Amino acid sequence: MKITDLLKKESIELNGASVSKKDIIDQMVSLMEKGGNLNDVEEYREAVYAREEEGTTGIGEGIAIPHGKTAAVSAPGLAAMVVPEGVDYDSLDGEPVHLLFLIAAPNTEDNVHLEVLSRLSMLLMDEEFRNRLRNAESVEEFLAYVDTAEKEKFQEDKGTKGRIQILAVTACPTGIAHTYMAAEGLESKAKELGVTIKVETNGSGGAKNVLTAEEIAACDCIIIAADKDVAMARFDGKPVLSAKVSDGINKAQQLIQRAMSGEVPVYHKKDGEEADVSGMDESIGRRIYKSLMNGVSHMLPFVIGGGILIALSFLFDGANAGTDVFGHGTPLADFFHTVGNVSFGMMFPILAGYIAMAVGDRPALMPGIVGGLLAKSGTSLFLAEEAWISSGFFGALIAGFAAGYLMLGLKKLFAKLPRALEGTKPVLLYPFFGIVLIGAFMIFLVNPPVGAFNDWLNGVLAGMGESSKVLLGAVLGGMMAVDFGGPFNKASYVFGTASIASGQFDIMAAVMIGGMVPPIAIALGTTFFKRRFTKSEKQTTVTNYIMGLSFITEGAIPFAAADPLRIIPPCIVGSGIAGALSMAFGCGSRAPHGGIFVIGIIDHPMQYLVALVVGAVVAMAGIVLLKKPLPEEKK
C-alpha cells in the first residue's frame, strides 16, 4: 500500500504550533480523527502515548514518526504536520522536530501499516525530500512531493538488481568463532542458491558489517542466527526468522530457503514490550539460556583480561612465591595484580546486569548490577563481621534473573500511574524500588543460603582426594567436547572461570585443556591420515592447529556436523583424558583463556603439554579408527 493511499488532505497541517510534545501529539491525533480513521479517539490517543513510553519516536534529523496500533482504528491512516519553529520531542539526536507523520493501525494481523512505515522511513532519509516537505506552500504540493518521491524510489526496487534480498545477524555468547562461522555458512549457501545476502556479525570486537536502515527497508527477510540478544527495534515491520547460531552453520540452506518462501511472520512489538523474535517459537528454557548467555558474553572480556593480568602478576613476582606479598612484591607485579583484580572483580555485576537487561530491558540493568555486586561483596547484616556471607557466582546468576523479572513486575505495576508521573519512572521509581527490592532479596534471601552452599562446595573441592579430582577433571574436560561451544561446553567453562574466583586453579586448567583437544586432534588426523578426509577438510589443517592451540574449540564444529558419530565420541574421550591428566599432574591456570599462549603462567607447564598431546593423540586415534579411508581421488 502506498503512502499516498493513506494520507488525506484533511489530515495534513503545514503550520503546526511550536508547543510541547504532548500538545503536538494531541494535534496530530485530531488530524487523524479528521481523516475518518478512528472509532475511539481517546483509546487511540492512549495507544500513541503508550508507544512513546517505550522510547521516543523522534528518530533524528528533525523527524518524528509516532504511531499506535489498536482496535480503536477502523482503517490504516496517516496524518502529517510541519512545525516551522520546531518542537522539543526528546529526539534521539536531541534536536527539535520539524516534520511529523502519525500512523494509525488497526489491531489486525496483516500489519499493512508496517510496510508504509518502512517506505516512509526510506524516503525521509533523503535530506532534499525533507526540505521540500517542510517548505511546501500547500497541502496539494506536499502530497505531490510524497507521490513523486515514492514513485521514483520504489520503481527502482521492483527488481533485485542492486538490492540485497536477505539480511542476517549472527551472534554467539563469546563472539569468537560461532559468530563468524555462521556468517560464512549463510554467505556460501546464499551464493550457491543465487540469493544476495549481507551478514552483520556481533562478535567480541563489536558489530561488523552493520546493516543500514536503507538495506533493512528494502530487503525481503532478515535471519537472526544468535544465541544471545541482538538489537531488534530496527527490524520493526520486517519478516524476521530466528534460529540458533549453530543453525547458521549446519542448516544455512534451510534458513535461506525458508526466508525466501514469503511465509516468515513479521516482527513487531506488542503490549508495550519488546517482543520475542517471530518466526520460531522459543521455549522458556531457550529464553532463559539466551538471557544467561547474554550475561556470559558481556562478562567474558572482564574475566579473560583480568584473569590474564592477575596471572602475569605472579609470573613477574616469582622471587616472592610462597610469601604473603606474592603477586605484589614488585611494582610491575603490583600494577598487574591491582588492575587485573579490578577487571576480574567486575565478573559478577556484569554477569547479573546483562542477564537482567536481557529479561527486563534497559531499566533492569541497574538493579542487576547492584544485585551482582551484593552477591560478590556479600553481607554481614545482623551477623558478626567475621561471618561475612558472599553468594558468589551462583548468587549473581540468581540476582540477574531476579532483577529482570522484578523490573517487568514494576513496569506493570507503575503502568497504572497517572500520565503526569511518566517522567519519574526511569529517573526515580525504577531506580529506587529496583535497588531496595533487589537489595532486600539478595541480603535476606539469597546470600545466606547460597553463601553457605558456596562454602560447602569450596570445602568439598578443596578436600577432594587425588582420585576424585582426576574424575572431576575427566568430566569437565569431556564436557568441553560434547557440543563444541554449546550448553555443555559453556557450562563447563563457566564453572571453570567461577572456580578461579575461589582459588580452584586446577579446575580451570582441566577445562581449558579439554577445549583445546578437539581441533588439535582433527588437525593431527588431517596431517597424518589424509585419505580419511576430503580435500576441503584437509585445507583446514593449519586453521585447526591455530584454533586448538588458542583454546577455540569451535574449530571442530564443521567436522562434527558432517560426521557426528565418528568425531564427537573420540573427542569426548580425548578431552576427558587430557582433563584427568591435567588434574593428576597438579596443573593450574589463573588465566581463563589463552591456550598455549599462557603456558608460561600455567602451574607445571611441561606436564600440561604432555596431557594435551596425550589427549589429542587419543582423540585422533579414535577418529581415524572410526573413519574409513576415502576412495583415491582421480587425478
- Active-site annotation, residues: 67, 172
Distance CA 41, CA 416 (A): 20
Q: In the structure grid, which three cell numbers stand for residue 522, read together?
A: 582433527
Contacts 24+ apart (CB under 8 A), 331-334: none
Rg (CA), the chain: 29
Distance CA 353, CA 346 (A): 10
Look at strands 67-70 and 58-60 and give their pairing: unpaired
How distant, in Å, are the alpha carbons of 133, 180, 201, 226 from that of 243?
Answer: 41, 15, 15, 7
- Helical H runs in 81-138? 112-123, 127-134
Distance CA 422, CA 22 (A): 12
Find how far residue 517's CA is from the centre of its chain.
27
DSSP class of residue 539 equals T
Nearest to 356 by CA among 315, 401, 318, 388: 401
Residue 163: CA count within 13 A, CB half-sphere:
17
531-544 burial, b at 16+ Cβ within 10 Å, e below that, comes to: ebbeeebeebbeeb
CB atoms within 10 A of CB 522: 30
How distant, in Å, are the alpha carbons of 188, 241, 537, 548 from that of 183?
Answer: 9, 15, 19, 21
Identify whether the C-beta of residue 67 lies closer than 8 Å to the C-beta of residue 45.
no
Position 92: which residue type?
L
Nearest to 513 by CA among 605, 620, 626, 393: 605
H-helix or E-strand spanning residue 208: strand 206-208
Specify which residues 241 forms β-bridges with.
223
Identify whether the C-beta of residue 236 lies closer than 8 Å to the C-beta of residue 117.
yes
Identify whether the C-beta of residue 95 lies closer than 8 Å to the C-beta of residue 26.
no
- Helical H runs in 165-219? 178-193, 213-218
Identify whether the C-beta of residue 373 lies closer than 8 Å to the C-beta of residue 348.
yes
Q: In the structure grid, which three cell numbers stand for residue 324, read together?
A: 604473603
* Strands (E) located in 487-531: none
Identify whether the C-beta of residue 86 lies closer than 8 Å to the C-beta of residue 19.
no
Find how far residue 271's CA is from the centre of its chain.
22
Which residues, 6 or more positions from 346, have their beta carbon under 8 angstroms from its beta carbon? 299, 302, 306
Q: Secondary structure of the chain: what % helix, strand, coil (to 5)?
A: 60, 10, 25
Helix (H, G, I), strand (E, B) or coil at 403: helix
382-421 burial, b at 16+ Cβ within 10 Å, e below that, comes to: eeeeeeebbbbbbbbbbbbbbbbebbbebbeeeeeeeeee
Identify whether the C-beta of residue 201 lies closer than 8 Å to the C-beta of residue 223.
no
Residue 105 sits at the vertex; the CA angle it makes with 104 and 108, to the nearest 5 degrees, is 165
